[in-house]
């Protein structure tokens, strides 16, 4: 290292040492940043949130431009179960305070963005979250240190050259850089982030919108009533959320232009690769669409009015009418500019290049201890699940927090332990109530770890499915005796932009056809051993997990209520019994007593009840069985039919008040 390098290193060391160290640094006080801060606060961890604006949720002060959110605010479900209600509350963050639910901030089904700003402000204030406002982090670098948790510290520098040191960096900055398009004439294009939202500015105009997502349709919806026509141009076909089951595709609230297009009311959709186009402005200030090819063949010094257009060769060219405005609505991408190359934070493939490249655990592939949260973590489930939206990433943020609690504080993944007799009821309860499973389908799953001889089980909630091979390392739990994985799935071939999802026999009602279920439904995988990394890597195409020993689909239900005794519970119980080679039914004590005379292996209910001295009911038939088998003395002559029970602490009580199950 030269003199200059030594000087810079010394300066950096002096700056860092003058500021308190934080175990956790969170970039951004949006929904994901505040959710992580609330979890860190509850756990009593040392953290700081850095926010460049003066209040939380600054994104929602500007976007969406037309102020209506597409996240639903369903305030009534007919049920009092708080966990179930979160399935249909797409805006609330997770906390123990029932007052911090979004339903208290708006009555609208599609709320105004200002309500979100108000809600996030109260969330941060009421929970006392530690947020450093007006602090714009302009540079992030690594400082290697073998004594650090992850072998290095993260050095954050703000707009005032103040440096901060952190052991773990949690980036929740969202997608903030507008996606641009580069073609001749693109300098004339207005951006979604700055174009007027006043319909009066578009009266009597011909408007071309570049893009095919919610921002494009939202913009069109705002001006349909005042323009001559609106044309929408994109290289991809329109993707509607009700056809793809993906919340990020075009929502029904924004798709009015589809009606006017199909009903031939001048508005329309066109497909073309934007990079092949060129935009020419004529002497009257109108914009014409042409191709790069025409510009390259002609002298660029020619006046705009002399440049040939496609309609010169084809008088039926669809875009031959000049436009008054061209608006870019192409979405957003992650801001990589503040991260030093030492972090090796890069974008993903062409398919998801607007997102950072991360693992299924939401940790950067380039730097240990750097996690991406919220919208920017959507590459894990892009166009699959809800991880790019509040109702999805509130659960993935919690999963990251649980991973960190085990890695750095030795706290194992939360779990509960139950006797095997409660296996069926535990699964039924979760698939009918759990919001994380429901919203992060095919991404987060419940894991059931069986104990030795399947006498009991340990239940872990909402673990990232793609990290299953590393479950023991990441959670501190062991999977030595087999496991079940419970997850929610749509039918593999049901949805898609080119499919008719409203065909007449789209639903499946028969139990034997449950595996054909198209709509969201629970799927249970059984493994005798934890899958390996190789198993995960070479799993079948379109499968979220490797092939299991056995798999069970609970048939789809119109009400998403999987509690039917014959249709849902009985097939599940029989599947579990087949996997475990046991009987999971509940019995009267008398039945258990008879089993001891006829079977070597008792059903678990009898093992955990009758054999643990929980008592038998005093019945004549049970007494007679005991006498005939010579296990009991006949006390009938002594006129004391209950004396044979001896000193049982629960004498006279039946093992179960319910009748024997199906």
Q: How confident is the model at residue 610 (pLDDT cuts 50, 70, 90)?
A: low
User: Region 254-265: what's the mean pLDDT?
Assistant: 82
Given a contact cutoff of 8 angstroms between Cβ atoms, the answer to whether 294 and 245 are in contact is no
User: Which residues, listed in sequence order, are joined to residue 132 by a DSSP beta bridge?
Assistant: 50
The per-residue pLDDT for 246 is 82
Residue 592 pLDDT = 79
Report which of residues 22 and 606 the model is more confident about. 22
The pLDDT value given to residue 645: 40
At 47-58, the pLDDT tens digits run 999 999 999 999
pLDDT for the residue numbered 659: 37
More confident residue, 360 or 272: 360
| Phi, then psi, of 134 in degrees rounded to 5 | 55, 35
Q: Are 109 and 74 in contact (CB under 8 A)?
A: yes
- When mean pLDDT is compared across 45-59, 255-269, 392-406, the lowest value belongs to 255-269
Query: Of 105-114, 126-135, 275-284, 436-445, which range is least confident?
Result: 275-284
Q: What pLDDT is recorded for position 538?
A: 93
Model confidence at 269: pLDDT above 60: yes
- Tell me the mean pLDDT in the region 3-15: 49
At 472-521, the pLDDT tens digits run 999 999 999 999 999 999 988 776 667 777 777 788 888 888 888 889 99
Distance of alpha carbon 333 from the chain centroid: 19
> What mean pLDDT do residues 300-316 have?
61
Do the Cβ atoms of 425 and 384 come closer than 8 Å? Answer: no
Q: Strand runs (DSSP E) across 389-536, as ranges?
A: 415-419, 444-450, 456-464, 483-489, 521-527
Task: Please give the pLDDT value at position 658.
Answer: 38
Place of tokens 């119109």: 558
- Classify 430 as helix, strand or coil: helix
Q: What was the pLDDT predicted at 652?
A: 35
pLDDT at 241: 81
356 three-state secondary structure: strand
Strands (E), 287-438: 287-291, 325-328, 332-333, 370-372, 415-419
Q: What is the pLDDT of residue 19?
A: 62
Q: What is the pLDDT of residues 554-594, one digit of tens each?
A: 999 999 999 999 999 999 999 999 999 988 887 767 777 77
Summarised one tens digit per residue, pLDDT across range 427-478 is 999 999 999 999 999 999 999 999 998 889 999 999 999 999 999 999 999 9
Mean pLDDT of 234-257: 81
**pLDDT computed for residue 651 by the predictor:** 35
The proportion of the chain whose per-residue pLDDT surpasses 70, expressed as a percent, equals 84
pLDDT in tens, 414-428: 999 999 999 999 999
Query: Is pLDDT of 171 > 90?
Result: yes
More confident residue, 530 or 634: 530
Give pLDDT, residue 461. 97
Q: What is the pLDDT of residue 593?
A: 74
Contact assessment for residue 352 and residue 382, using Cβ atoms and an 8 Å cutoff: yes
The CA distances from residue 459 to 312, 448, 635, in Å, are 69, 5, 46
Mean pLDDT of 172-177: 92
pLDDT digits (tens, 9 = 90+) for 111-120: 999 999 999 9
| 364 beta partners | 358
Q: What is the pTM of this model?
A: 0.85
The token pair that represents 389 in the structure block: 């939206």
């Amino acid at each position: 290292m030269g003199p200059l390098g030594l000087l810079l290193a010394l300066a950096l060391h002096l700056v860092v040492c003058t500021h308190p160290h934080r175990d956790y640094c969170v970039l951004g006080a949006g929904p994901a940043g505040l959710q992580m801060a609330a979890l860190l606060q509850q756990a009593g961890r040392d953290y700081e949130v850095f926010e460049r604006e003066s209040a939380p949720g600054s994104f929602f002060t500007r976007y969406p431009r037309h102020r209506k959110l597409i996240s639903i605010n369903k305030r009534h479900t007919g049920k009092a179960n708080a966990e179930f209600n979160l399935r249909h509350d797409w805006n609330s963050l997770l906390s123990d305070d029932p007052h911090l639910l979004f339903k208290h901030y708006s009555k609208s089904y599609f709320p105004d963005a200002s309500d979100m700003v108000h809600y996030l402000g109260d969330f941060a204030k009421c929970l006392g979250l530690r947020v450093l406002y007006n602090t714009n982090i302009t540079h992030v670098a690594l400082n290697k240190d073998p004594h650090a948790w992850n072998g290095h510290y993260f050095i954050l520098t703000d707009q005032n050259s103040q440096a901060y040191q952190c052991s773990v960096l949690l980036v929740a900055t969202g997608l903030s850089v507008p996606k641009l398009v580069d073609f001749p004439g693109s300098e004339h294009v207005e951006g979604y982030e700055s174009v007027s939202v006043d319909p009066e500015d578009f009266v009597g105009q011909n408007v071309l919108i570049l893009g095919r997502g919610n921002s494009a349709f939202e913009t069109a919806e705002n001006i349909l009533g005042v323009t001559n026509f609106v044309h929408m141009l994109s290289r991809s076909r329109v993707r509607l959320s009700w056809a793809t089951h993906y919340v990020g595709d075009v929502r029904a609230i924004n798709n009015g232009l589809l009606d006017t297009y199909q009903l031939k009311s001048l508005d329309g959709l066109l497909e073309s690769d934007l990079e092949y186009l060129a935009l020419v402005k004529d002497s009257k200030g109108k914009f014409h669409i042409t191709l790069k090819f025409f510009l390259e063949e002609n002298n660029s010094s020619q006046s705009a009015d002399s440049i040939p257009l496609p309609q010169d060769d084809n008088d039926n060219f669809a875009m031959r009418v000049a436009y008054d405005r061209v608006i870019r609505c192409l979405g957003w991408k992650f801001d990589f500019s503040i991260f030093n190359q030492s972090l090796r934070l890069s974008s993903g493939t062409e398919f998801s290049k607007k997102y950072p490249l991360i693992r299924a655990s939401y940790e950067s592939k380039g730097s240990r201890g750097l996690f991406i949260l919220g919208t920017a973590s959507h590459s894990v489930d892009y166009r699959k699940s809800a991880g790019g939206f509040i109702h999805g990433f509130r659960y993935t943020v919690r999963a990251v927090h649980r991973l960190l609690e085990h890695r750095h504080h030795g706290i194992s993944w939360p779990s509960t332990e139950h006797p095997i007799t409660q296996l069926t009821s535990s699964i039924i309860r979760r698939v009918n109530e759990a919001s994380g499973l429901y919203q992060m389908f095919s991404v987060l799953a419940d894991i059931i770890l069986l104990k030795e001889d399947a006498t009991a089980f340990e239940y872990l909630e909402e673990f990232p499915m793609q990290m299953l091979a590393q479950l023991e390392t990441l959670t501190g739990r062991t999977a030595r005796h087999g496991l079940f994985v419970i997850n929610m799935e749509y039918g593999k071939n049901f949805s898609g932009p080119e499919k008719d999802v409203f065909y007449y026999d789209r639903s499946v009602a028969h139990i034997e056809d449950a595996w054909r279920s198209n709509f969201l439904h629970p799927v249970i995988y059984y493994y005798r051993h934890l899958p390996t990394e190789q198993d995960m890597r070479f799993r079948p195409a379109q499968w979220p997990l490797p092939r299991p020993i056995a798999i069970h689909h609970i048939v789809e239900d119109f009400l998403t209520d999987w509690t039917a005794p014959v249709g849902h519970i009985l097939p599940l119980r029989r599947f579990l019994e087949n996997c475990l080679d046991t009987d999971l039914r509940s019995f009267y004590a008398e039945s258990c007593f008879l089993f001891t005379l006829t079977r070597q292996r008792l059903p678990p209910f009898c093992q955990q009840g009758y054999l643990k001295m929980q008592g038998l009911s005093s019945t004549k038939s049970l007494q007679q069985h005991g006498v005939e088998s010579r296990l009991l003395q006949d006390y009938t002559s002594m006129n004391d039919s209950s004396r044979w029970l001896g000193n049982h602490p629960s004498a006279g009580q039946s093992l179960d008040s319910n009748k024997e199950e199906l």
